[in-house]
Structure 1
Amino acid sequence: MIEGKAGRNMTAEIGEQPRILAELVETRAEIAAVAEAVARRPPRFALLAARGSSDHAALYAKYLIEVLLGLPAGLVSPSTTTLYGARPDLRDVLLVSVSQSGGSPDLLEVTEAARERGALTVAVSNTPDSPLTRAAELAVPVKAGEEHAVAATKTYSATLLALYLFVDAVRGGIGTEVADIGRLAQHSLDSTEAEVARAVDRYRFADRVITTGRGYSYATALEAALKLAETSYLATRAYSGADLLHGPVAAVDEDTAVLAITSEGNGGTAMRDPLDAVAARGADVLAVGSAASAMRAAVRIELPRTAEEVAPILEILPVQRLALSLALARGFDPDNPRGLRKVTKTR
């Protein structure tokens, strides 16, 4: 195991999240003002543009928009604009660009092109004066503070909360379901330490990991796979619980570790059949979420009950700590993952 300063930044930033989330809720009025501007120009549908961890946050927002607002929503393929020059008619469309740094050239180009083609553009970023924020007509601040660890932690959870507050405000909500999110986040970190440590001992020598979830929690499964890959270099694949049963389950055996995100609600209920199937094939299942106790699993990390659409903000917290601790146990420094930089610029 690496000693000393390894993982210091990631450790600190995981611990900052309860305070950051609580403070972001206190600034809800600022986000609500952006939502009011959107509500005055009701869109026909919404598009979301993002990369990396922000892409997982955008998927979460897609579920929020479709379920809570009743609008069709889709994820943009930036290369259709940047590589192929597509310029579709986007009148009466809401484009939400999600980027922690706000500096990725492809997202900037997509946002500028969408605005030129008639879209109402909203930037969701942790960098207030970023090129992306300046390019968009409206901006939702993430307010997580500067993040030093390469692996996104506090910016991810704060982006989820910012997106929830935004969508909730568009529908006329006042953030009731997240009023106590800071306390719940602290409890989610404090109460799960022992089970995270148990999971690290059990999975530190794993070679193959599948992460899975359904509904809102599918975004958490994708982010979990990314965190494990970039910090512990694990060969990790993420699947929707439904897609897992369509073919990938054939590759599951007793050498497969399955990290399942299972919170109470429709998505969590739908995870029972997939987990029964992988457990029957000998997979070692780790269930994380407020419904973990009801799942067929070898290890369970239970979290507080919340509205289903809020659960991903808490689900990711013990998963981040799991990724951090697994990296250290496997002899890696998660603050310095090989081949990665904090800001990745793509086109």
Structure 2
Amino acid sequence: MAEEARSAPEIVAQQLAQDEDAYRELGARLRAAPPPSVVTIARGSSDHAAGYLAYLVMTRLGCPVASLPPSVVTLYRAPLRLPGGLAVAVSQSGQSPDVVGALSACGAAGAMTAALVNQLGSPLAQAAATTIPLRAGPERSVAATKSFIASLSAMARVVAIWGEDAALLDALQALPETLAAASESDVGPLVGALSGEERLLVLGRGPGFSIALEAALKFKETCGVHAEAFTVAEVQHGPMALIDERFPLLVFAPRGPAQAGLVRVAEEFRAQGAKVILVGPAGLPGVDLAVPASPHELLDPLCQILAFYLAAAALAEARGLDPDAPRRLKKVTKTL
């Protein structure tokens, strides 16, 4: 897990150097016929990545995005109506029948279909009208790391080209260097603070909420810790009743409009006696895990999740677990 996470800077650099025509063609089609809405289709870590895409599309392009549960198609046989829309499926393996079936149904319902997928010969790649290769290479660890980061970088590239966002495109070119710096972050404070914990909440907001969800999953599958993710707004609508003295919280605070609120709530919980670990750029007041700021605030989540992956691998080992082989799990999951 740690080795594959550390390879992310090289993976992203290689990804950025390839498939320019595929990205440009998709961007041109979306500008020529702007979709009224977008649906995403994914499971697990890929679904968390899809949440990042949703925030980018909604905040940068003003197009509403919804996550489509595959069971709406595969179990409930819903008659979808998506004329002129865009359906995006995300998967490392491209093997799960429900994701493939849902994307095919979206195409039959009138949507343009695209797949962001790592395995190019997979059923999902074959089902999509447009395929964007993740170029993450083989991923041996059951817990996804480099493929998740590759998904986010590919999504940022799609949105930058679709919206002709030169600043974001330029920032992407500089991202591998910052990812490499992020891989050197001191994760000791996080590992030390959480080594004896059995539960925690993970908070984020906006584009950073996707990495809060991803971190909560990694705590469960690699560390045996019951973690749940909430936006910093939603946690105040009920879940905060769980928080008492020494209750652990991990807060991701990338730069952007949500950062001030994340820091404020972290400070409030800390003042009430909770054990708060704040992840953010160096110099952020109260930061516990300092991660280098990326070339663009929308790319901060990629750097922060990379540092977290290394922390999670170390935490799992400190708890006597093998992060590469979580119990009861397998790399390719096929659901209906």
Match of 2:243 in 1: 252
Which runs of at least 4 in structure 1 moved beyond 4 Å after TM superposition?
Answer: none
Match of 2:292 in 1: 303
Q: Note closer, same or farther for the CA distance 1:37–1:129 as it changes in structure 2 (3 Å cut).
A: farther
Letter in 2 for 1:312: P
Q: Is 1:261 aligned to residue 252 of structure 2? A: yes
Letter in 1 for 2:68: V
Q: What are the equivalent positions in structure 2 for 1:63-82 lying under 5 Å apart?
A: 63-82=55-74
Aligned with 1:27 (options 18, 35, 51): 18
Q: What are the equivalent positions in structure 2 for 1:16-165 lying under 5 Å apart?
A: 16-27=7-18, 29-30=20-21, 31-165=23-157
Aligned with 1:214 (options 205, 214, 239): 205
Q: Is 1:317 aligned to residue 311 of structure 2? A: no
Greater Cα offset, 99-108 or 198-207? 198-207
Residue 246 (structure 1) shift: 1.5
Letter in 2 for 1:275: A
SS of alignment partner, residue 131 of structure 2: strand
CA–CA distance in 2 between the matches of 1:254 and 1:287?
17
CA-to-partner distance for each residue in 1:145-182, whole Å, 9 max, x for gaps?
Answer: 01000000000000000011011111123511211111
Letter in 2 for 1:86: A
CA-to-partner distance for each residue in 1:83-124, whole Å, 9 max, x for gaps?
Answer: 110022111110001111111110111011111111100011
Residue 305 (structure 1) shift: 4.3
Match of 1:229 in 2: 220
Q: What are the equivalent positions in structure 2 for 1:180-219 lying under 5 Å apart?
A: 180-190=174-184, 192=185, 195-219=186-210
CA–CA distance in 1 between the matches of 2:333 and 2:265?
35
Letter in 2 for 1:70: G
CA–CA distance in 1 between the matches of 2:193 and 2:248?
10
Match of 1:7 in 2: none
Aligned length: 333
CA-to-partner distance for each residue in 1:162-216, whole Å, 9 max, x for gaps?
Answer: 01101111112351121111100000112x1xx3123212210012211101111
Check the 8 A contact 1:244/1:274 in 2, yes or no: no
Check the 8 A contact 2:294/2:303 in 1, yes or no: no
Match of 2:232 in 1: 241
Q: Note closer, same or farther for the CA distance 1:123–1:305 as it changes in structure 2 (3 Å cut).
A: closer
Greater Cα offset, 256-265 or 143-152? 256-265
CA–CA distance in 2 between the matches of 1:11 and 1:226?
16
Check the 8 A contact 1:254/1:281 in 2, yes or no: yes
Check the 8 A contact 1:95/1:120 in 2, yes or no: yes
SS of alignment partner, residue 95 of structure 1: strand
Residue 289 (structure 1) shift: 2.0
Show structure 2 runs of 5+ residues with no match.
Answer: none
TM-score with structure 1 length normalisation? Answer: 0.93
Same amino acid, percent of matched pairs: 35
Q: Is 1:179 aligned to residue 176 of structure 2? A: no
Residue 294 (structure 1) shift: 2.9
Q: Is 1:335 aligned to residue 329 of structure 2? A: no
Q: Note closer, same or farther for the CA distance 1:198–1:333 as it changes in structure 2 (3 Å cut).
A: same
Letter in 2 for 1:189: S
Match of 1:170 in 2: 162
Aligned with 1:282 (options 273, 288, 312): 273
TM-score with structure 2 length normalisation? Answer: 0.95
CA–CA distance in 2 between the matches of 1:257 and 1:136?
42
Match of 1:294 in 2: 284
Match of 1:3 in 2: none
Residue 295 (structure 1) shift: 4.0
CA–CA distance in 1 between the matches of 2:164 and 2:58?
15
CA-to-partner distance for each residue in 1:69-90, whole Å, 9 max, x for gaps?
Answer: 1111111111111111002211
SS of alignment partner, residue 266 of structure 1: coil
CA–CA distance in 2 between the matches of 1:221 and 1:149?
20
Greater Cα offset, 280-289 or 150-159? 280-289
Check the 8 A contact 2:178/2:294 in 1, yes or no: no
CA-to-partner distance for each residue in 1:217-254, whole Å, 9 max, x for gaps?
Answer: 01110001011110011010101000111111111122
CA RMSD of the aligned region, Å? Answer: 1.4
Letter in 2 for 1:345: K
CA–CA distance in 2 between the matches of 1:230 and 1:313?
20
CA–CA distance in 1 between the matches of 2:34 and 2:236?
38
CA-to-partner distance for each residue in 1:283-337, whole Å, 9 max, x for gaps?
Answer: 11111122x643445x232322442211111110111011100000000001110
